[in-house]
């Protein structure tokens, strides 16, 4: 498959490396490819600069946001919460077309330090705002409630027996993404929370996720729905 990932951070890098390893053609999108390649230091939480990361992942191409998604079979949004709308605007409605957009972003605002606040919540969400701004795109919100390395390796926690959430307006797109997440990374339990307004709860889970990280001392955890 041809996969366009918006975002050069740890999520974009982690997903790109795992998908390229499985033989997919992956292009990562960034605001300014030359500027991104010129960066000498990592932007936390990424551990290495993008240039150093790409040396170890030479098959992954770097392009503008628009070029990364233009001919992609699926696009993945791994941009920062404050930058997501602008990144999608840069990609453009025409290049995005009716693509499935897996949205892993969270509306975290770090401008006042730690802990971050949510830039949108309660009666709206980033997932909804993106879907509203790009109505032809088939947005599926998922992966935003776990740390990057767990996204691509659910087996690293509790032998993969834990729950991933997903939501969106397009039933076919959600079924397709569920299947891909199983095939790509081995996700077994994916709970469909309904239409895109469920992004509110998935994003408002982040303050709890962050406190749990602090309490257990590692980001390698997840929740499991038991009945």
Ligand X SMILES: NC(=O)c1ccc[n+]([C@@H]2O[C@H](COP(=O)([O-])OP(=O)(O)OC[C@H]3O[C@@H](n4cnc5c(N)ncnc54)[C@H](OP(=O)(O)O)[C@@H]3O)[C@@H](O)[C@H]2O)c1
- Which residues form the interface with ligand X (CB under 6 A)? 7-12, 30-31, 36, 43, 45, 78-83, 86-87, 104-106, 108, 144, 147-148
Query: H helices of 46-157, where?
Result: 50-56, 65-69, 84-91, 93-96, 126-133, 148-151
Closest CA to 121 of 110, 134, 112, 108: 108
User: Of 78 and 173, which CB lies nearer to ligand X in the complex structure?
Assistant: 78
User: Of 32 and 172, which CB lies nearer to ligand X in the complex structure?
Assistant: 32
* Smallest separation, CB 169 to ligand X (Å): 20
DSSP state, residue 155 = G
Task: Please state whether beta strands 163-168 and 189-192 pair in parallel, antiparallel, or not at all (unpaired).
Answer: parallel
* Smallest separation, CB 136 to ligand X (Å): 21
* Smallest separation, CB 227 to ligand X (Å): 26
Distances (CA, A) of 20 to 15, 100, 141: 8, 19, 22
User: Of 62 and 173, which CB lies nearer to ligand X in the complex structure?
Assistant: 62
User: Of 29 and 70, which CB lies nearer to ligand X in the complex structure?
Assistant: 29
Cβ contact 197:168 at 8 Å: no
* Smallest separation, CB 144 to ligand X (Å): 5
């Amino acid at each position: 498959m041809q996969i366009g990932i918006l975002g050069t951070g740890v999520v974009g890098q982690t997903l790109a490396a795992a998908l390229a390893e499985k033989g997919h053609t992956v292009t990562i999108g960034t605001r300014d490819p030359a500027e991104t390649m010129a960066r000498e230091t990592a932007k936390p939480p990424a551990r290495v600069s993008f240039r150093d990361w790409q040396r170890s992942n030479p098959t992954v191409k770097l392009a503008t946001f628009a070029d990364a998604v233009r001919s992609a079979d699926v696009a993945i949004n791994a941009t920062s919460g404050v930058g997501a709308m602008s990144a999608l605007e840069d990609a453009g409605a025409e290049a995005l077309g009716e693509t499935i957009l897996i949205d892993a972003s969270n509306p975290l605002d770090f401008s006042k330090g730690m802990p971050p606040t949510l830039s949108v919540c309660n009666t709206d969400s980033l997932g909804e705002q993106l879907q509203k701004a790009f109505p032809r795109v088939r947005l599926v919100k998922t992966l935003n409630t776990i740390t990057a390395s767990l996204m691509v390796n659910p087996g690293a926690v509790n032998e993969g027996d834990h729950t991933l959430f997903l939501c969106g307006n397009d039933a076919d797109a959600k079924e397709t993404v569920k299947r891909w997440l199983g095939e790509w990374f081995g996700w077994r339990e994916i709970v469909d929370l309904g239409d895109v307004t469920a992004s509110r709860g998935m994003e408002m889970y982040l303050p709890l996720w962050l406190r749990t990280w602090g309490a257990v001392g590692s980001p390698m955890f997840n929740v499991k729905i038991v009945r």
